Structure 1
Amino acid sequence: MKWPTGFYCEKCGCTHYYFNEKRTLFECAKCGHQHYLFAGTIFQDNKLPLFKLILGLYLFFSANKGCSAMELASELDVNYKTTLKLCRKCRVLMTLSNSEKILDSMFYESDTIYIGAKTSNKPRNGN
């Protein structure tokens, strides 16, 4: 999503790069400028591993009655302050999402639906 047409250097415009796995960054082959994947995004200073970050986003946005930072802290097995920051960033994402643009927005809202009624313990009649 950061480079929809492929990598390009913001400094010199070059499209060739080296990927540094140790530091997880892209380095321009021409000028050597280093590009981090999360730089310039809402998750720029995030210390969580990518798996826990995506799991936290899923848990936050899929909860029917909301998700507190304490619940996320216990589910992700991370510090309360870390999940508090993640919840704050998720709320910022929700405010940046524009509900007027139905299919043009980068962020979508989803909800679950329950079909049927509560069952009673009474036996059914043959009517």
Structure 2
Amino acid sequence: MEAPRPLSETCAGGEREELAEVASAAGGVEPVPPELAEPQGPAEEDPPLSPGREALVMRVADLEAQLWTQASAEAARLEVIEERMRRALTLKNDMIDELKDELWRKERDILEARGILAGLDPLAVRQ
């Protein structure tokens, strides 16, 4: 399963500023860009985030964590389904092989019975 690309690769400049607004308006969850998730450079140089902005960053980080959790859970479910489908396919193929063998045996029995009824050698009928 391919991981979602970070927003730093998909958004530019001012688009990153409206990350949460775009994500909530579209109804989707976007990963947190690195510049919002971790401060760049020494902490003394970065201006403190406003309470609203900090809450927004935390909310987006929580949504990203939920997205990754759900993606991991879905991948695990798909692996279980894949294994079940493989087993079902194997059982189907085995059943088809058994039915072919049984059909072959029945055809052989029918040929032998016809030979007996006709008074011929069963081996001669098959040839």
Do these two structures clear the TM 0.5 threshold for a shared fold by scoring above it? no
| Structure with larger RCO (C-alpha < 8 A, sep 6+) | 2
> Which has more strand, going by share of residues?
1
User: TM-score under structure 1 normalisation?
Assistant: 0.26
Determine which structure has more spread, i.e. the larger CA radius of gyration. 2
